[in-house]
Structure 1
Amino acid sequence: MTRPSLDDIFAEDDEFGLLDVRLRGSRAAVASDQGAGALREVSAFFEKHGRVPDPDAVDHDEMRIGSIWASIKSAPTDQMRLEDRFGLLDDETAQALKSWRDEPLVSDVPDSLDEIFDDEELSVDASLIDLKHTTPAAERHLPDHRAEFVPCRDFDQFAERFEAVQQALEAGDRQALPVKKWSVIEPIEGDFFIRNGLLAMIAEKSEMSARGGSRDHRLRVIFSNGMESDPLMSSFRKSLNDDKTARMVQKVGLGPLDPDWESDQLELSGTIYVARSRSDDPSIRTQRMILHKIGVTSQDVARRVADARNDPTFLLAPVDIVATYELQNLSRRKVENLLHRFFATARPAELFVTDRFGKKVFPKEWFYVLPEHVGRAAKLIEEGRLHLFEYDVPSQEIVMKK
């Protein structure tokens, strides 16, 4: 007997309905349901974050949803389009919804801050961009003069000192010690250094001031070739660090307790100057005819006050020199201390200026005195009789002590 083929079997009547099989769902339907479910997840992510998920994201959930979205968005089904409530399947919408990780177009990058703030969609409170206590960049620390080399007009006063130090170095009585890289050097008057092959002496160290938020001094540095300069101490320190051949000349003596240790200290004559501020500050401008700065310097007075508008010691404003008095064979430092102590009762208690960082600085060299009062006091110092007098603030006169 010949066995029936499959065609013969399927051609017979299906008495019991064995071949009547109903599938639960087609693959297309299953795929449609999966795509719609994935789209719902993508829509929920978009509603929360304002962007579609990134398949390269660090976050695992975003990476999973992003990977599924990347595989199904190219062939959306009808069911997916019904679920697309944000239009994520639309090509134009998809192009507009870029990730923040995407490189921006050149046309999208603003050219300046003004273009950003002019954006109509950006609402910025004017108080947030209105800078206070800030000097315009064009004016910030713009020097009125540079610390250039100029001939030293009184080099003859220092020539013997340079010769003595040079001879001591050649004889081995004094040593030139290398300046260590990034070492913090605090020079004082009379110190000697070797910079760029020249002996350099600190002839003057002016009163301390706050410049750029840090404390600093103006120096008068005289060189063995007969030139001088007046850099800030921080600038001079940097020049020593930058010079690989820089040396610091060892002091005489064994230490601060040795009497010879201070033998390099200078006792220089100089010039007493009286300066009047040209500040626009109302509290200073209204008193400018009676408020004066008393200073003593061994360098040219015009150079000393050239950078006044950048120096809190000078109230951050230009000054006029209204009087000068020459010293003869008197210690500059002692004269300055004597004058400041003598007029201490006339020092304004609340005089201050605000630097560009908003910090208050209280200069101590300004007094309510007239130039002739300073001249009279200088004369009494020269005569050695200042201790017999005092300054009477109510009458604004120098009177004999009772």
Structure 2
Amino acid sequence: MSDAASPNDSGLSPELIDLFEGDDEGLFEAPVKPRPITTEDRLERAFIEILEFYDKHKRRPDPDTREIAERKLGARLVGILNSEEKKQHLRHLDDVGLLAEPEVPETLEELFEGTGDGADGSGAGSDFDFLADLLDEADGVDADLYDTASLPRRKPKSSDSVAERTRVKDFEPFRQAFKEKQQQLADGSVVLAEFKSEQSITDGKFYVVRGSLAFVAEVYDPEPGAPLENNGLPKQRLRVVFENGTESSMYRKSFAIRLYEEDGKVLAYNRSVTMDEIGDADKLSGWIYVLRSLSTDPEIASLRDLYKIGYSTTTVEQRIRGAEKSATYLHAPVEIVETFRTYNLRPSALEHLLHRVFAPARLKITRGTEPAATEWFIAPLEAIVDAVDKIISGEIVHYVYDVAAQRLVRRD
């Protein structure tokens, strides 16, 4: 007798055997178990969602918006940008430069120059975008009144109430005025301050809307039959001239709403100014600090003039709590050597500029798989303080740090 088993030895009926044997499409095959989703998979999926948002809106998601979905994506992006490990893992997916390091200004002029386009996409506001971004934003009472993010979308206005932009027939006098304001912004005699209220809009004032300069050339008398404000007074139109050579006769309230929605700024002279002109202009925005390491590690303790240059939007004392647990502080306590308060300026911008100045003296140190500590420099304290003073005065554009001389020297 043969040892080969017959099909019927399985105990199945001939019909079932024929059904199994005729399964050309693999319907009765055991399904392949899916590969478990890893942390890296989730990270890549999250970043792909961020890229899809960027492709659709042509901007990064805002972590502070009231739109929950966008806020979530913005928070994810912040977390990714704060992790070198995550950025390294995702670089192969980044085809739009979201993970690229921000360009550090090399000169004071670059610190106050923007790189974006004006409101009309013509590049008209490029001299002001970066400076406008440096100013911290404070939500005042009036700003809350004009915040329309949570309101239902309005129906389109009739063409009679919409002010269209037209070309300025005689733009040359305005061109010269805009050029003068650009120069005053560059030399610091004029500053950008937070826009406070509709009532502060008067003729002769300059504003920044989406990085583009706007000049209120005239406040017109109310037109006959003009719509009424909530206070019962007729609405007033403005003649607003933009630095790209166009003008608009928008309502005062419409201009105010746009300034609030676009985080617009008002230009004010850097002197004693009236509060109704700029409001609380001198707003404390943070601190630049210089720290000395108290490490007992011989490799660290033996380094003379080793300082950490950083910034904080909270007090420095709060910032350095738990320093001994952080690689950023070389896993050791630190001593506060110098602090500089910053007003109306994001301290991160000043920090980046200082790091650029002292880049030749940056300490290169890594410990195993920990991220490198990049904010430590070997330079005399006097040189660091001198650099801060020269940034404030504007002289830094003429100086570089000489490692051998251990001081700032004039550029050749």
* TM-score normalised to structure 1 length: 0.35
By relative contact order (CA 8 Å, sep 6+), the higher-ranking structure is 2
Structure showing greater radius of gyration is 1
